[in-house]
Every structure is written in C-alpha cells, then in structure tokens.
C-alpha cells in the first residue's frame, strides 16, 4: 500500500518515511527540497522532486502510483518569518494543501493526516490544555494551519474526505542510530541551537527573554520526540483506514520545560560547557505552552515512549555528533 508523504524529505517527514518502510508500507515522497534533504531518504522510498502547488505534477504522481493515504508535512513554519511575509505563508501552506486536496479528490484518495500546530491555541489560562481550548492564532503561520483544518472539514462535507489533524509543539530528538535528524538552515529551534553551542559551532545560546511569569523567568514549552510524533501519525492513518471519523488531536508530553531547564539538561547529556547570553523576547512567544494528549491516547491508542527530556536530547546529540555538518556532503543512504 502506497502512502504519499508530502514534505517527506524534511525533519519530521523523513522520520515518517523511515517508520512507514519499517511497517512494510510503501512511502511515495513529494518534496521540492526547499528545506528538505535528499540524503534523509532511504533507498526504499520512491521520490518525486516537485512542488505540491504544481497541479500537473501532482496529477501525474497520483496517476503513476496507487496511493491510498496521504501524510501532509510540507509548509513554511517559522512564526516570525510569517509575520514579515504573510502572503508567502498563505501561498505555500494554504494554496499548497488546496492543490493537494483537489488532486486527491480527483484521484479518489480520501484519507489524509495533517501536521498542524498546538500554537493555534495561543496561551490558554489552564495548562495542560485539551482540544476544547479556544483557538486563537496570533501569527499568519498559525492562522494558515487553522484555515487548513477548516478547509479539510468543508471537504469532508462536500467530497467525503476523511482527515486527522495533529496539533503538536516542539518536535525534537532524532531516530536512534543517528542516520537522520534535524538540519534546518538557518536553525531556529532551541534544542539543535543548544547542541551546536555544545559542539563549538556557535559561541553561545541566546535566551529570548528572562522576564516571563515563570519560575525562572524563561519560556516553558512542551517538547515531544519526533519518533513519538510519527508513531501518532501512523496510528492516525490506521484510524482512518479502519473507517474512523475525522478528528483533531493534541500531541505532547503533558510536561513543560523552561529554556534554562533544557540548557541544564543538555549540559548533563553532553558533558560540554554551554555558554548562555541574554536576549530580548522573541515575537509571538507566549510564556507557557503545554498540551494534554489524553484524547489521542484514548482514541488512537497512542502512547509516547521517549518522554524523558534527557532521552530526547541524547538522541538529538547522537545525530549532531555523528553528523557535525548535518546532511552536507553526506551520500544518499542505501
């Protein structure tokens, strides 16, 4: 059974490709490689280089392969950049999935698992928060994810599409063995930045704001192992395959860590000195974001396995240590 993985050469998507193969499924990857890496794809994956917004290209992919289900990862996904370039975000994220859904429906493929974000909620008063918390996107990035969830809902009504939307926060860690991992350029995410400082690739980590209303003044986030994120995607595919209805699920560890706690954990894991400097608050950065994943556990049977923050950082450190230049210069794996 072929599963189309749009954005499968990216950080999160490439972990999906590897897990799909492991489960005996055939991943068919579409990626324009704007932020993804060909070297992240195993030989067993079918790869089509192209843009999801290109209708003719997408029609051709559906013609050539018998695709049954779709996983959608491709997007622009930086909050700050989206505030500066909103139309670029609507184009890649909203128009991108519009073309995907059009070509899926034409090809009579009606099951999709979508990577949303838990940032659609902003900062509810009570944490951890459930799917019932009020959505309140505050940046074009989050707004596009929210709009896509509604787009899929209307396509269900009109065309019988069935979807699962997974809302998560900070995906981190890497597949064990160090073959694939996080390599964003430029890197903006906290854990890889801390590890680059530990490796001496950058002088210091700048903490964005130390005056938040939290115990140590730094932002608290919910970090989730990327392999657990993908395990939930596979459970969601299975839910749809078995005839399950469309739904939205939060994914998280239900535990929050402050920036200073993450830095301290990274010092323990790596045994390296990590220099820290103070910086201004980053735009669109709420103090405390922690989700409840009880619904995904109950309805999808999902159980995250790598919840310990030291394990998450250790797996990321293994990838960084084995690949100090990221994917740069590395041959495609066999």
Ligand X SMILES: NC(=O)c1ccc[n+]([C@@H]2O[C@H](COP(=O)([O-])OP(=O)(O)OC[C@H]3O[C@@H](n4cnc5c(N)ncnc54)[C@H](O)[C@@H]3O)[C@@H](O)[C@H]2O)c1
DSSP string, 166-196: EEE-EEE---TTSSS----SS---HHHHHHH
Helix (H) or strand (E) holding 310: helix 309-322
In 3D, which of 216, 309, 317 has the Cα closest to residue 259? 216
Give me the least distance between CB of 42 and ligand UPG, in Å please.
25
Give me the least distance between CB of 22 and ligand UPG, in Å please.
25
Give me the least distance between CB of 114 and ligand X, in Å please.
8
Q: Are 304 and 229 spatial neighbours (Cβ–Cβ below 8 Å)?
A: no
User: Given the complex with ligand UPG, which of 193 and 300 has the nearer CB atom?
Assistant: 193
Q: Rounded CA gap, 50 and 312, in Å?
A: 32
Told to judge if 141 belongs to the known catalytic residues of this protein, a careful annotator would answer yes
Which residues, 6+ apart, have CB-to-CB distance to 144 below 8 Å? 75, 82, 89, 90, 93, 94
Would you state the structure tokens that stand for residue 74, as one six-digit string? 């491709």
User: Given the complex with ligand X, which of 31 and 228 has the nearer CB atom?
Assistant: 31
Residue 193 partner contact from ligand X, ligand UPG, none using kind-dependent CB cut-offs of 5 to 8 Å: ligand UPG
Q: Rounded CA gap, 146 and 135, in Å?
A: 8
Q: Which stretch binds ligand X (CB under 6 A): 29-37, 79-87, 130-138, 271-279?
A: 29-37
User: Given the complex with ligand X, which of 96 and 124 has the nearer CB atom?
Assistant: 96
User: Given the complex with ligand UPG, which of 64 and 282 has the nearer CB atom?
Assistant: 282
* From 11, 89, 121, 141, the catalytic residue: 141
Give me the least distance between CB of 46 and ligand UPG, in Å please.
27
Judged by CB under 6 A, the chain residues 46 through 105 that form the site for ligand X are 51-53, 73-75, 77, 92, 96
Catalytic residues: 141
């Amino acid at each position: 059974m072929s599963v189309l993985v749009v954005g499968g050469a990216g950080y999160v998507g490439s972990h999906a490709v590897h897990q799909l193969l492991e489960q005996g499924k055939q991943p068919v990857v579409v990626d324009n490689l704007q932020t993804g890496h060909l070297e992240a794809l195993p030989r067993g994956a079918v790869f089509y280089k192209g843009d999801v917004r290109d209708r003719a290209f997408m029609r051709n992919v559906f013609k050539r392969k018998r695709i049954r289900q779709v996983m959608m990862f491709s997007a622009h996904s930086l909050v700050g950049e989206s505030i500066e370039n909103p139309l670029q975000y609507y184009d890649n994220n909203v128009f991108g999935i519009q073309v995907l859904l059009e070509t899926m429906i034409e090809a009579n493929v009606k099951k999709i698992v979508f990577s949303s974000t838990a940032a659609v909620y902003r900062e509810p008063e009570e944490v951890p928060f459930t799917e019932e918390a009020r959505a309140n996107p505050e940046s074009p990035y989050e707004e596009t994810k929210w709009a896509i969830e509604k787009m899929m809902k209307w396509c269900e009504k009109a065309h019988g599409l069935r979807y699962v939307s997974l809302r998560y926060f900070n995906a981190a860690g890497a597949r064990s063995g160090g073959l694939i991992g996080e390599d964003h350029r430029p890197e903006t995410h906290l854990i890889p930045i801390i590890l680059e400082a530990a490796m001496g690739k950058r002088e210091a980590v700048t903490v964005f704001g130390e005056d938040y209303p939290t115990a140590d003044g730094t932002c608290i986030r919910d970090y989730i192992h990327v392999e657990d994120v993908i395990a939930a995607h596979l459970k969601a595919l299975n839910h749809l395959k078995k005839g399950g209805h469309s739904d939205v699920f939060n994914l998280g560890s239900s535990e929050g860590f402050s920036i200073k706690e993450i830095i301290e954990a990274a010092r323990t894991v790596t045994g390296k000195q990590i220099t820290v400097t103070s910086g201004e608050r980053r735009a669109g950065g709420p103090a405390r974001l922690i989700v409840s994943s009880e619904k995904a556990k109950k309805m999808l049977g999902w159980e995250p396995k790598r919840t310990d923050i030291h394990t998450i950082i250790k797996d990321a450190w293994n990838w960084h240590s084995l690949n100090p230049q990221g994917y740069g210069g590395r041959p495609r794996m066999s």
